[in-house]
Structure 1
Amino acid sequence: MSGGYSKKLALRLDAAQFSAYEGTPPTRPEWTGARVALVALSAVLVAMVAGLAVFGGWLITRDFPSFFPIAGGIPLLLLAWALRPRLGDDGDTWHELRRDDAPTLFALLDRVAAAAGTRLPDRVTLDADFNASAGTHGWLRRRTLRLGLPLFGIFTPQQRVAMLAHEFGHFVNGDPSQDVLTEPAIRTPLILADLVRPSETFVSDNLWGQLAERALWPFQVVLERLFVFVGVGVIAVAARDHQRAEYCADALAVRLAGSSATEAMLVDFATAEQLCGTIAAVERGTQANPATARRHHPGAARWREAADAWRASVDVEAALDSSVEDTSLWHDHPPAGLRARIVRSWPHTDPSVVLSDADSARIDTELHRFYARAGRDIAWSAA
């Protein structure tokens, strides 16, 4: 699919989804035909992988220790292991935050979780990304909330509530991106593409081996491209359901943090690249003075001042227009510009969870040493 055609299709799908939710906030992501198909495909793939494992084990044990059954069974077991369902992990942890580290922040998390109708995540982690995320991982389905300190640091008190409410929304709204039932369908085609991908060079050291590699090479290329084509198609289908979940999480943010704060948060997302650059420039100035950077780091205060100056200078509507155009069939988030505008279309809502300026300042004090560490990461990564 050509880039121009895929972008036009993505724009049409984005517009259709916007129209479906314009004026009326969604509640939960509905079960769509695409999601049913993904679950069905996952069931078939899991059954096939289980069959490979059982058949491989049977070959190895039926006439053990005969060479040929073992030689046939081991590759089947290895293939089944490579294609096994994954339940995800929460990746590298920059810092795992404890309640004793930030009691005011955890008190806010308690309030937002109660208002959202869910429990606290099992882990709250920090990093230096301009982002936040929530996910469910592992066989025990442990929940992790990740807070990107540059993003959290520049937000107003109510924007912080909106961000947390949005992330908690992924725990309560049946987000298909957290669904173990669709994971095999999304991952398996790309795993198969990796398995059949031909080597860039012929590795055999004898003539017959090289001839065999050359003979197999075109078939490997065709299979790899076929699996990639299927894989990106499945991802495109799954992305639409994830985008619906994002709108549902935004609706929860509006209900808890209010319309104004949620819209302001989404405008910041639409200008994220520029805000990141602004924060990095400020932080490089801080890091240029070692004494200030190490012992008297200003925390998020200077980031917020720079962000406020940027917000005052930006043409919001132009930024939202630009964000709407930045779309793709494979993006799992709707354009931030559409998200901000759809919040405007919903009935205005006052916040039900309010974070006071004083409590927000206490949270900054609790996170001060982590802001200093994030500042070093920001300055180095932007250098």
Structure 2
Amino acid sequence: MSPQPTVPMDGRCPSCSASIPVDPRFVVWCPECDWNVDPEAEPPVAPTSWRTKRAAMERLYAEALNETNPYRRRDGLWPVAMAVAGMAHLTLAAMTVGSGWLLAIGPLPVKVVGMVGLVAVFFSLPRPRRVRPDEWSPSRAEAPHLYGLADRIAAELGVAPVGIIRFVPNLNASFDRVGFRRRGVLNVSLPLWEVLAPQERVALFGHELGHAVRGDIRRSLWFVSAYEAVYRWYGFTDPGNRALLTIPHRLAALLLLLLYRPMERVSQRAEYRADDLSVKVASSAAALSLIGISTLGADMAALLQRRTAGFDPEDGAALWRELREHVASVPESERLRRLRVSALRAPSEPSFYPPVHLRVRLAGERGVERGSVDFPEREVAAVEAELAEVRNRMAHAVLTIDL
């Protein structure tokens, strides 16, 4: 890690002499020349590979920018991903048939091999996850206005209504399909929800429900079941000292690699599409603000963890109020710095999300001044009342976990 440069005492940039904002809570840097913009930056391990990766991400951004219909945004690698998933399914099917055949007709030692094969197949098969309503999942009867908002957004996007809206204490929101019926579950970060303005909440729902639109392989039963099956097979065949498992383990590793490669690009394209749909329902300004606030996750987590000591569980409203005040107090210069860092740092490997600065650029380019879904004040108040118990319970729970 590079040593941090000396912070100027006179409020002037030591590189270009421009006046720079100083907030003791955040990095002091110069918006004019980028002096000290990223004091923790490390040089890229492989500069050539870094440039190649960045060029590929810029090309994907350009494709997303020029796409005018987000509903048709299936990446060219989609057929490749589906074909590789098919190879994984066929491999497991062949294992099942072959192991059953050995078990049926072979002598005892061969039967043992067949039994081991069937056991491997059994433990490799994906188990459909189930999400049952609990204290963090208000029902439609308990929160009709909350579900009504989600239903309006889903209808606007042309997707099925969600089955469950579940609030979680971490700082990530997500959409998933669970069970054999592929029931939609919308996981909403309550700390994030608390700091968002009404239209930013619409943008949040729009982004997550945007992943329900066809084209995101991470929600495809065909692809996900293949990936989970091969991943379990990979772990089950870890050879250790068992040399006989080396070949099956390497085969599983190859299948995982073939599944992994197309998922990165297709996932990034799906994130751009979800941002586009977020802009459509909420507006460019709301989507931009949501993306900006999402970069403050580490700061929000740190504040919540500091509040553990002396927290009064009977005063949950104070926790959320302090969190909102903290987010509002982050200066614009610090938010801008984080976008600059996103543009300067080498992309992570692997990267299933586009760089934040490109997501911001895309949302700004769309220029949607008014979204198609409004969240008026009367509905905001109704939703707040519906979530009162969840908010109070979560205020205590959020301080007892590792965010």
TM-score (norm 1): 0.82
Q: How does 1:20-169 map to 2 (within 5 A)?
A: 20-22=63-65, 25-28=68-71, 30-62=73-105, 67-85=108-126, 87-89=128-130, 95-169=136-210
Give the distance between the partners of 2:311 and 2:298, measured in 1 at CA.
25
Which residue in the other structure is 2:263 paired with?
Answer: 238
Residue 336 and residue 29 in structure 1: after superposition, are their counterparts in 2 closer, same or farther (change >3 A)? farther
Structure 1 residue aligned with 2:284: 259
Cα offset, 1:264, TM superposition:
0.5
Write the distance in 2 (CA, Å) between the matches of 1:91 and 1:227: 32
What is aligned with 1:319? 338
Is contact 1:255–1:352 with CA below 8 Å preserved after alignment? yes
- 1:178 paired with 2:181, answer no
- Letter paired with 1:98: S
Structure 1 contact 102–363 (Cα < 8 Å) conserved:
yes
Change (3 A) 1:12 1:143: same
1:107-146 CA-partner distances (Å, limit 9, x unpaired): 2122212222222111211110112111112221111111
Matching residue of 2:298? 273
Give me the whole-angstrom Cα distance separating, in 2, the residues matched to 1:29 and 1:361: 37
- How far apart are residue 267 of structure 1 and its match? 0.8
Between 224-233 and 252-261, the greater mean CA deviation after superposition: 224-233
CA–CA distance in 2 between the matches of 1:58 and 1:69?
A: 10
1:358 correspondence with 2:374:
no
Residues 135, 390 of structure 2: 8 Å contact kept = no
* Contact map agreement 2:150 2:205 (CA 8 A) in 1: yes
Q: How far does the alpha carbon of each residue in 1:48-82 deviate from its partner, in whole angstroms, 9 at most, with x for none? A: 2122222322333347xx63443232112112223
Q: For residues 142 and 122 of structure 1, what CA distance do their matches in structure 2 show?
A: 6
Stretch of structure 1 that moved more, 83-92 or 8-17: 83-92
Q: Distance in 2 between matches of 1:96 and 1:60?
A: 46
Take 1:322 and 1:156, find their aligned partners in 2: how far apart are those partners? 26
Q: Across the two proteins, how many residue pairs are aligned to each other?
A: 358
Match for residue 195 of structure 1 among 231, 236, 253: 236
Do structure 1's residue 288 and structure 2's residue 329 form an aligned pair?
Answer: no
AA matched with 2:389:
R
Q: Does 1:336 align with 2:317?
A: no
Report the Cα offset of residue 301 of structure 1.
3.0
1:340, distance to aligned residue in structure 2 (A): 1.3
Determine the C-alpha separation between the residues in 2 that align with 1:240 and 1:118: 23
Q: Distance in 2 between matches of 1:347 and 1:308?
A: 24
Contact 1:59–1:73, Cα closer than 8 Å, also in 2: yes
- Whether the 8 Å CA contact 1:11–1:327 is kept in 2: the answer is yes
Corresponding position of 1:203: none
Letter in 1 for 2:183: R
Moved more, 157-166 or 173-182: 173-182
Shift of 1:151: 0.7
Quote the Cα distance in structure 1 between the aligned partners of 2:133 and 2:385.
25
Q: Is 1:6–1:329's contact at 8 Å kept on the other side of the alignment?
A: no
| Distance in 2 separating the partners of 1:79 and 1:382 | 34
Aligned residue in 2 for 1:209 = none
Q: Structure 1 CA distance, aligned partners of 2:326 and 2:238? A: 47
Work out whether 1:348 is the aligned partner of 2:368: yes
CA contact (8 A) 1:256 1:353 kept: yes
1:96 partner letter:
S
Letter in 2 for 1:166: H
Q: Percent identity?
A: 22
- Farther off after superposition, 119-128 or 67-76: 67-76
Amino acid at match of 1:249: A
TM-score using structure 2 length = 0.78
Letter in 1 for 2:336: E
Gaps of 5+ in 1: 200-212
Residue 158 of structure 1 and its aligned partner are, at CA, apart by: 0.2
- Secondary structure of 2:354 counterpart: coil
Instruction: Say whether the 8 Å CA contact 1:94–1:127 is kept in structure 2.
Output: no
Structure 2 vs 1, CA of residues 305 and 96 (structure 1 numbering), >3 Å: closer, same or farther?
Answer: same
Distance 2:76 2:325 in 1: 47
Q: Tell me, yes or no, if the aligned pair for 1:35 and 1:241 is still in contact at 8 Å.
A: yes
Structure 1 residues 26 and 330: alpha-carbon distance in aligned structure 2, compared to 1, 3 A threshold = farther
Higher RCO (CA-CA < 8 Å; seq separation 6+): 1
The answer as to whether partners of 1:235 and 1:330 remain within 8 angstroms in 2 is no
Deviation of 1:16 after TM superposition, in Å, equals 1.4
**Which structure features the higher share of helix residues?**
1
Q: Deviations over 1:317-349 (max 9, x none)?
A: 211122343632422221222211211112333
Q: What code does the residue aligned with 2:347 have?
A: T
Show CA shifts across 1:83-121 (max 9, x none).
Answer: 335555559967222123222212212221222222211
SS at match of 2:145: helix
